[in-house]
Amino acid sequence: MEDAALGRLLGEWGLLKDHELAEAREVQSRLKLAGGNPALESVLVDFGFLTKRQLEDALAVTEGLPTPGEELPPDVVEASHDPTKKFGHFLLLNEIGRGGVGVVHRAWDTELRLVLALKFLRSEASLDPMRVVDLLQEGSRLSRLRHPNIITVHEFGRIRNQFYIAMDLLEGMGLDALIRSAKARNQMSPFYDQPKRYLAIFRDIARAVHYTHTRTPPLLHCDLKPPNIFVDFSWRPYLVDFGVARELRHDTP
């Protein structure tokens, strides 16, 4: 990051007063006269103007900012100025789902330059080693699947003390919500109103299930139900939530 931009950012955050920035630049100038070529950021840490963590936080928020000629969504730009929204190379935008064990956020991936869904363990669940193992196994299994009707996982792992899965962000609703919506309109079921559309959904999900069963080793979803079938706005269905899936091995009881 250029020295001028770094000094301006630190001033905006209140981490560095004008006279402290001037002192740091004077130290930098003296070191250059002595034959060195130190960056301002190293001077700030080495001479006690900032802690290493403060500097890292300041540099981190710039990763999500637009590159020249690029326009980002307003919520991404806003989050990029908030250090509490920073999670590794992700910017947390807003929470979009919460269950008994997990929490899902919309997030901006500063490397892929797109919005993804980040699945975390809830704070109490993250203390349970078995829950952590289940999450990492889900990420590992899904990352090996490539099917048009199965949600795509881009990465999984641990950042600081938080385990996560980064996957495609789907926009639409679950099959269970579609059924409830039809009943709210006094329809027995959307299946009767649009049978071809819903038969296509069942066909595609059956193909996705067949695909998982033909992997090596076969992968069983074990929780196939309407809430775990997601339908996007183009009516493409996805098989989601492999949290209790099992690989079928010869030694499986």
Report the alpha-carbon distance of residue 149 to residue 161 in Å, rounded: 32
Q: Write the DSSP symbol of residue 97.
A: E
Q: Which residue, chain included where needed, has tokens 């899965």?
A: 165
**Which positions ≥6 away from 1 have C-beta within 8 Å?**
9, 41, 59, 62
User: Rounded to the nearest 10 degrees, how much is the dihedral formed by the CA atoms of 208, 191, 193, 178?
Assistant: -70
Q: Which entry of 57, 223, 241, 251 is annotated as an active-site residue? A: 223
Supply 83's token pair.
């250090």
Shortest CA distance to 5 belongs to which of 41, 31, 37, 30?
A: 41
Identify any residues that bridge with 95 across adjacent strands, giving them in sequence order.
105
DSSP string, 211-247: HHHTSSS-EE----SGGGEEEETT--EEE---TT-EE
Supply 168's token pair.
């495609």
- 223 carries an active-site annotation: yes
Q: Which helix (H) or strand (E) holds 200?
A: helix 195-213
CB atoms inside a 10 Å sphere around CB 38: 16
Residues marked as catalytic: 223
